[in-house]
Chains A and B, each alone.
Chain A
Amino acid sequence: MRTARAFWRSLTSMRTALILLLLLAIAAVPGSVLPQRSVNPESVNAYLAANPGSGRWLDRLWFFDVYSSPWFSAIYLLLFASLLGCLVPRLRQHFTNLVSAPPDAPSRLDRLPHSATDLTGAGDPPATAAKLKAGLKGQRWRAVVRDQTDGTVTVSAEKGYVKETGNLVFHFALLALLVGVALGSWYGWHGNRLVVAGEEFCNTLIQYDEYGLGARTTASDLPPFCVRLNAFRAEYLDNGQPVQFTADISYVEDPAAAPKAWRLEVNDPLRLDGGNVYLLGHGYAPVLRYTDRYGAAQTTVAPFLPDDGMLTSSGVAKFPDANVDPDGTKPRDTSAQVAFAGVYLPTLPADPSVGKSAFPAERDPALMIVAYQGNLGLGSGIPQSVYELSHRQIASGELKQVGERMLRPGETWTLPDGSRVEFVGTRQWITVSVRHDPGEKIVLFGAGALLVGLMVSLSGRRRRVWARIAPAGDGRSLISLGGLARSQQPSFADEFARVVALAGPPHETERPLAVAEKGH
């Protein structure tokens, strides 16, 4: 029990909080150095493939999931525990301070950092005290009058409790932030996918290329809506820098209703009930029409992924069902499958051997492809990228290169076996992210409260003044004042001077007034 209490006391100390803050800052660093699964799982896999030895150990220690790792979570949870342990007593204390009267005047006001003696009040002590109190209230001091046993009257006033209020608001706002983030991770979800112009997708998990569900969310929690990409337009400067991306989409929330049109732009998402649609990226999908040796034609729209800012794009068009004998009596021959891997250049450079596009728009498009024939390895059970051919199949010789060619839109290339491939043209594609985060509003509110609390707590200043009022004998009274500021504040001298002016003029000329200010 004693150790528990000692642990709690040391956890809630400022020293511990500072160490935890430092640890939090340091623990966040690896996430900017190493690839993170939450940001880019592909680069994590690439890192693991390139550094199998160290990568495995880093992975075991959650270095590719820093922000959901046990050690990162431990730091911030301890920090919040420390915060709570510090805040709750302070909240109680602050509440007590707010409802209780300012403390009585110390016996020697002239010992305070700011003091003034021998001021004259027009009336007797109680009347002077009442007047001073009213004046102080006018300057927004909290003031209280006390009758002392020796016949004097004291006035105590204080100001600046808003500083502590701001402080508490700031720290409780941090807790609200944490709650909002937690809600988002429990009840939020997202899905990303690529949509080719003319295609439609609906908000179900199987239609996403990549998705994430919150811990307390299931696939049935996704609201039903469908989105179609009608067209995509991009505008570029002459140097190839993009200035505008616009995706014309239509969407259906209620299957009975007619689709509604929307211009989806970067920074301008489509906000639907229960999910938002964001435009993230774009590119070209070459359309290839392959006529096999039996005369059967198939068309594939193969999205190519951009390699650079000029949209040099690479990808592959696979025809796994090509060259199947229509006879149907022989066993299916997978060794005659066909694929075309290559690079698409929206604008062919002056020197085509450069192999990189000269401009991101389709000014002089060309498709440089290599034809492969053989077994694509799709039935092997090993997952394959739709943007790449299986290196395993090529290395084993099961998939062989049969020629390469540069095609312009509309051109046809006849392969050695007599089959033909036509580069029909391209279609644009976009990548969209569909997301829902119910914690967002709480986080936004928390952030707002945090900022307000922070400003108040950094600008507010606590200070107190006291007055001791004694009868002067002639129906008037004699006032001494003292002032104390919690932290060093240059402006308090002027404020104290205003209180002095409020109290009254100096008593008599032969007893000149003195206002003193001491260094601290």
Chain B
Amino acid sequence: MAELSNQLLPVAVLAYLAAMVGYLMEYSFGGRGAVARTAVRPPRERELVGTAAGRVAPPTAPTSPAPTSPAPTATIPSKPAGRAVVFGRIAVGLTVVAALAHAGVLVTRGLAAGRVPWGNMYEFVVALSLVAAVAWLVLLIGRPTLRLLGLFVTLALVLVLGFAGMVLYTEAAPLVPALNSYWLKIHVSAAATASGLLLIAFVPAALFLIRTGYDAGKRRFPYPIGAKLPAAESLERLTFRLHAFAFPIWTFAVICGAIWAEAAWGRYWGWDPKEIWSFISWVAYAAYLHARATPSVKRTTATWFAVAAWGTMLINLYVINFVAVGLHSYAGVE
């Protein structure tokens, strides 16, 4: 089983890589493709109960209807766009295959070790990236227009999972006594879920900043990427909704960690390096949500908070586990 788990990991990484190529093809050949066109559609100008003769109330509202964006239809070469969509659909199919292999890695690992498969850093990273992959696919079900973001999501997944396989890998083994508690199931799964969701949330946040930069006329790298991205407003709204969903889960994970810490070490909070950086991330995401809720704070400023907060998550995951000596030394790396 452990062997199978190890063999499935490269399968998952390669499938994500192939999906990434597919998204890239769609991205490159699609022009402002069907994906982008639907994404920049002025939001909600539809009739609900109206009949053919329906009388739409005159648009007298002081708030202007849609963010001004160039009329997309004029610039689309129709044929390549059609082909690009095929690439995009293949890419989604490949992402599903990759996610299944990815889930296989985790399940077989759990069977091999005879416990929940998130008992060391390698397994934690595999679990959190699986959450990210599944969250991405679920997101796609509701909004196929987001497919273009797949390029960046799969890029992140390939990096995270590839690093896990090459650097973090540890043999499947039973738990050390410190981790042998039912809180492992609750605290670590919540932390992995929140981290995976926040990883997905980081993608539209970063792309929103690129897109607004592009809209403001910036053309140096990475701003040209913004040319084909969905409208800034929809990216921003997605960013907020993902963070608003993930933040309570992260809060829950930290609280569970504190309860477990009380049972294991006698204190619910002891400023262990891992605890410090969880606190920093929590404060940073709280700052993002507050900034987002404040009308006087620009949306780009608020989104920078979210990007910085993801930076603190990365530090907590990669730097603290390797560098800092603390009680959370589950990394299995010396």
A22 CB–B CB distance under 8 Å:
yes
| CB neighbours of A276 from chain B (8 A) | 266
Interface-lining segment among A107-115, A141-149, A249-257, A401-409: A107-115
Given A21-B286, A244-B177, A265-B177, A514–B270 Cβ distance below 8 Å? no
Task: Pick from B42, B51, B58, B296: contact of A513, CB below 8 A.
Answer: B51
**A494 to B262 CA separation, bound complex (whole angstroms):** 46
A515 CB–B CB distance under 8 Å:
yes
- Asked whether, in the complex, the Cβ of B178 is within 8 Å of the Cβ of A518, the reply is no
State how many angstroms separate the Cβ of B245 from the closest Cβ of chain A: 8
B29 CB–A CB distance under 8 Å:
no
**A515 to B46 CA separation, bound complex (whole angstroms):** 9
Q: Which B-chain residue is minimally distant from A110 (CB atoms)? A: B57
Task: Pick from A32, A269, A458: contact of B320, CB below 8 A.
Answer: A32
Residues of B270-309 whose CB lies within 8 A of A: 270-273, 276-277, 279-280, 283-284, 286-287, 289-291, 294, 296-297
B79 CB–A CB distance under 8 Å:
no
- Asked whether, in the complex, the Cβ of A32 is within 8 Å of the Cβ of B277, the reply is yes
Residues of B151-180 whose CB lies within 8 A of A: 173-178, 180
- Asked whether, in the complex, the Cβ of A454 is within 8 Å of the Cβ of B268, the reply is no
B60 CB–A CB distance under 8 Å:
yes
- Asked whether, in the complex, the Cβ of A241 is within 8 Å of the Cβ of B176, the reply is yes
Q: Which B-chain residue is minimally distant from A278 (CB atoms)? A: B266
Q: Which B-chain residue is minimally distant from A66 (CB atoms)? A: B271
| CB neighbours of A512 from chain B (8 A) | 50-51, 53-55
A61 CB–B CB distance under 8 Å:
no
Residue picked from A29, A266, A488, most chain B C-beta under 10 Å: A266
Q: Which B-chain residue is minimally distant from A245 (CB atoms)? A: B177
State how many angstroms separate the Cβ of A387 from the closest Cβ of chain B: 19
**A450 to B42 CA separation, bound complex (whole angstroms):** 37
**A488 to B292 CA separation, bound complex (whole angstroms):** 13
Task: Pick from A110, A269, A513, A514: contact of B263, CB below 8 A.
Answer: A269
State how many angstroms separate the Cβ of A430 from the closest Cβ of chain B: 12
- Asked whether, in the complex, the Cβ of B49 is within 8 Å of the Cβ of A519, the reply is no
State how many angstroms separate the Cβ of A59 from the closest Cβ of chain B: 17
B324 CB–A CB distance under 8 Å:
yes
B97 CB–A CB distance under 8 Å:
no
**A32 to B53 CA separation, bound complex (whole angstroms):** 67
Task: Pick from B180, B269, B272, B273: contact of A266, CB below 8 A.
Answer: B180
Q: Which A-chain residue is minimally distant from B283 (CB atoms)? A: A25
B65 CB–A CB distance under 8 Å:
yes
**A493 to B279 CA separation, bound complex (whole angstroms):** 38
B83 CB–A CB distance under 8 Å:
no
Interface-lining segment among B131-139, B197-205, B246-254: B246-254
Residues of A16-48 whose CB lies within 8 A of B: 17-18, 21-22, 24-25, 28-29, 31-32, 36, 38-39
Bitwise interface map of A from 261 to 301 toward B, beta carbon under 8 Å scored 1, else 0: 00001111100000010101000000000000000000000
State how many angstroms separate the Cβ of A111 from the closest Cβ of chain B: 6
Bitwise interface map of B from 58 to 99 toward A, beta carbon under 8 Å scored 1, else 0: 111101111000000000000000000000000000000000
B265 CB–A CB distance under 8 Å:
yes
| CB neighbours of B216 from chain A (8 A) | none
**A14 to B177 CA separation, bound complex (whole angstroms):** 45
Q: Interface size (A, Cβ < 8 Å)?
A: 71
Given A32-B273, A280-B265, A519–B42 Cβ distance below 8 Å? yes
| CB neighbours of B44 from chain A (8 A) | 490, 493, 517, 519
State how many angstroms separate the Cβ of A117 from the closest Cβ of chain B: 7
| CB neighbours of A21 from chain B (8 A) | 283-284, 286-287, 290
Given A21-B290, A451-B252, A520–B61 Cβ distance below 8 Å? yes
| CB neighbours of B64 from chain A (8 A) | 519
Bitwise interface map of A from 214 to 252 toward B, beta carbon under 8 Å scored 1, else 0: 000000000000000000000001010111110000000
| CB neighbours of B141 from chain A (8 A) | none
Residues of A65-105 whose CB lies within 8 A of B: 66-67
State how many angstroms separate the Cβ of A234 from the closest Cβ of chain B: 8
Given A266-B180, A513-B50, A519-B43, A15–B266 Cβ distance below 8 Å? no
Q: Interface size (B, Cβ < 8 Å)?
A: 72
Given A25-B280, A110-B57, A454–B247 Cβ distance below 8 Å? yes
| CB neighbours of A190 from chain B (8 A) | 266-267
A433 CB–B CB distance under 8 Å:
yes
| CB neighbours of B58 from chain A (8 A) | 110
State how many angstroms separate the Cβ of B114 from the closest Cβ of chain A: 11
**A422 to B175 CA separation, bound complex (whole angstroms):** 38
B186 CB–A CB distance under 8 Å:
no
| CB neighbours of B269 from chain A (8 A) | 181
Q: Which A-chain residue is minimally distant from B45 (CB atoms)? A: A519
| CB neighbours of A38 from chain B (8 A) | 270-271
Task: Pick from B57, B175, B177, B252: contact of A115, CB below 8 A.
Answer: B57
| CB neighbours of A14 from chain B (8 A) | 290, 294, 296-297
Task: Pick from B66, B174, B324: contact of A32, CB below 8 A.
Answer: B324
State how many angstroms separate the Cβ of B61 from the closest Cβ of chain A: 5
State how many angstroms separate the Cβ of A491 from the closest Cβ of chain B: 12
- Asked whether, in the complex, the Cβ of A25 is within 8 Å of the Cβ of B287, the reply is yes
Q: Which A-chain residue is minimally distant from B312 (CB atoms)? A: A25
B4 CB–A CB distance under 8 Å:
no
**A506 to B55 CA separation, bound complex (whole angstroms):** 12
**A242 to B177 CA separation, bound complex (whole angstroms):** 7
Interface-lining segment among A124-132, A345-353, A437-445: A437-445
List the 6 closest pairs (A to B, CB-CB), nearest first: A516-B57, A519-B65, A514-B55, A267-B181, A278-B266, A435-B266
Given contacts A24-B283, A190-B267, A512-B53, 17 further A-B contacts (CB under 8 A): A21-B290, A38-B271, A110-B57, A111-B61, A117-B57, A267-B260, A280-B266, A440-B262, A451-B252, A451-B255, A454-B251, A458-B247, A513-B49, A513-B54, A517-B47, A518-B61, A518-B65
Give me the interface of A with B, judged by CB distance under 8 Å. Answer: 14-15, 17-18, 21-22, 24-25, 28-29, 31-32, 36, 38-39, 66-67, 110-113, 115-117, 181, 190, 237, 239, 241-245, 265-269, 276, 278, 280, 433, 435, 437, 440, 443-444, 447-448, 450-451, 454-455, 458-459, 488, 490, 493, 496-497, 500, 506, 512-520
Give me the interface of B with A, judged by CB distance under 8 Å. Answer: 42-51, 53-61, 63-66, 173-178, 180-181, 183, 237, 244-245, 247-248, 251-252, 255, 258-260, 262-273, 276-277, 279-280, 283-284, 286-287, 289-291, 294, 296-297, 312, 320, 324
Can you list 8 residue pairs at the A/B interface with Cβ under 8 Å?
A15-B297, A32-B276, A110-B60, A244-B177, A267-B260, A444-B268, A516-B57, A518-B65
